[in-house]
Structure 1
Amino acid sequence: MGVTEIVAEIGTWIWFILAGVLLIGELALPGAQFIWLGIAALATGLAVPLFELGWQGQLVLYAVLALVTLLLGRRMFPRGPKASDRPFLNRRTEALVGRVFVLGEPIAGGVGHVKVDDTVWRVTGEDSPAGARVVVVGVDGAMLKVRPEDTAI
């Protein structure tokens, strides 16, 4: 028994079976691609009895519907991260990079502290006296990397 005989014997049910397999595959695998192919198979299964298509026409119809549903799906649900209006929400230390602060106590031995708003942060950088202005140039965990404001990068 060849493929054409199997398809002819199963009839339009093959499209509903394929739709079920693809929709179950969508549940098992991430990516939101199988859902559109499953919808195309379901639509093909519904259209075949209306238009009495042969297996070649069914495949062409499915291919066209699959392409259309994939394109519509990508247009309705674009991929990629959305730009946030609060990009530093959970990355407070990164928001401090580039800001200038005044040392409340000197940096000695490469380590010191600076007050930022109501919080005291540990800083690393070249030794500087209390009252010196420093620029935050990086972050290492909860420690800020600073350099004196008047030095070039």
Structure 2
Amino acid sequence: MIDFLSGLGHWNWFIAGVLLMALETLIPGVHFLWFGLSAVIVGILLASLGDVFTLPWQFVVFAVISVATVFWVRRFANAQGVESAEKDLNQRGAQYVGRIVVVEDDISGGRGRVRVGDTLWPASGADVPKGTRVRITGANGTVFTVEPA
């Protein structure tokens, strides 16, 4: 088996590249794609230059190209630089700041509940009786900070 694989030469890298890219479809996350691309690049280098590198040097070239492609992709595909039109998309409570709502359970001792649409939310603020209209001034997790409207 080893004689067969060593006889394939640069085709081993093409096969490894295709297998790694296929593995990317089974385990998504854009990790194996760059290693597959690196294996194909090593295969192209060996095909164009002839099999001039010994197997250990082929692995070194593969490792260097793999690291280079990972850093190259991170540089151009930085998810941190993406701006969202909806700033509070993952902060549901913050989306309601400024809205006027009705107190459902008396706010006494600084704690109570308000109705927002068809949902009851915990609220904190000045003591007010049930039925009072209050303005949401902030959100701490799922607890609204309210003040009389």
TM-score by length of 1: 0.63
Cα distance change on mapping 1:96 and 1:19 into 2, 3 Å: same
Matched, 1:70 2:54: no
Rate the CA distance shift 1:80–1:31 in 2: closer, same or farther, 3 A.
farther
Equivalent position of 1:26 in the other structure: 24
- Contact 2:17–2:35 under 8 Å retained in 1: yes
Residue of structure 2 equivalent to 1:46: 44
Secondary structure of the corresponding residue to residue 63 of structure 1: helix
For structure 1, list consecutive stretches of 5 or more residues without a partner in the other structure: none
The worse-fitting range, judged by mean Cα deviation, of 73-82 and 41-50 is 73-82
CA contact under 8 A between 2:34 and 2:70: conserved in structure 1?
A: yes
Q: How many residues align?
A: 140
Kept in 1, the 8 Å contact 2:34–2:69? The answer is: yes
**Does the 8 Å contact 2:105/2:114 carry over to 1?**
no
Alignment partners' CA distance in 1, 2:103 and 2:86: 33
The amino acid of 2:59's aligned partner reads L
Q: CA deviation at 1:36?
A: 0.8
- How far apart in 1 are the matches of 2:103 and 2:56? 81
Residues 136/77 of structure 1: CA separation in 2 closer, same or farther (3 Å cut): same
Give the letter aligned to residue 19 of structure 1.
G
In structure 1, how many angstroms separate the alpha carbons of the residues matched to 2:105 and 2:62?
72
Alignment TM-score, normalising by the size of structure 2: 0.64
Larger radius of gyration: 1
Change (3 A) 1:84 1:106: closer
> How big is the alpha-carbon RMSD for the aligned residues of Structure 1 and Structure 2?
4.1
Structure 2: state its 5+ residue gaps: none
Q: CA deviation at 1:79?
A: 3.5
Take 2:15 and 2:39, find their aligned partners in 1: how far apart are those partners?
Answer: 9
Query: How far apart are the structure 1 equivalents of 2:23 and 2:77?
Result: 19
Once the two structures are overlaid, the 10-residue window that deviates more, 128-137 or 11-20, is 128-137
- Determine the C-alpha separation between the residues in 2 that align with 1:37 and 1:133: 57
Q: Moved runs in structure 1, 4+ residues, more than 6 A?
A: 105-108, 111-114, 129-133
Q: Structure 1 residue 9: deviation in Å?
A: 1.8
- The 1:91/1:16 distance shift into structure 2, 3 A limit, reads same
Quote the Cα distance in structure 2 between the aligned partners of 1:20 and 1:94.
46
Which residue number corresponds to residue 9 of structure 1? Answer: 7
* More strand, by proportion: 2
Shift of residue 136, structure 1, vs aligned partner: 3.5
State percent identity of aligned pairs.
22
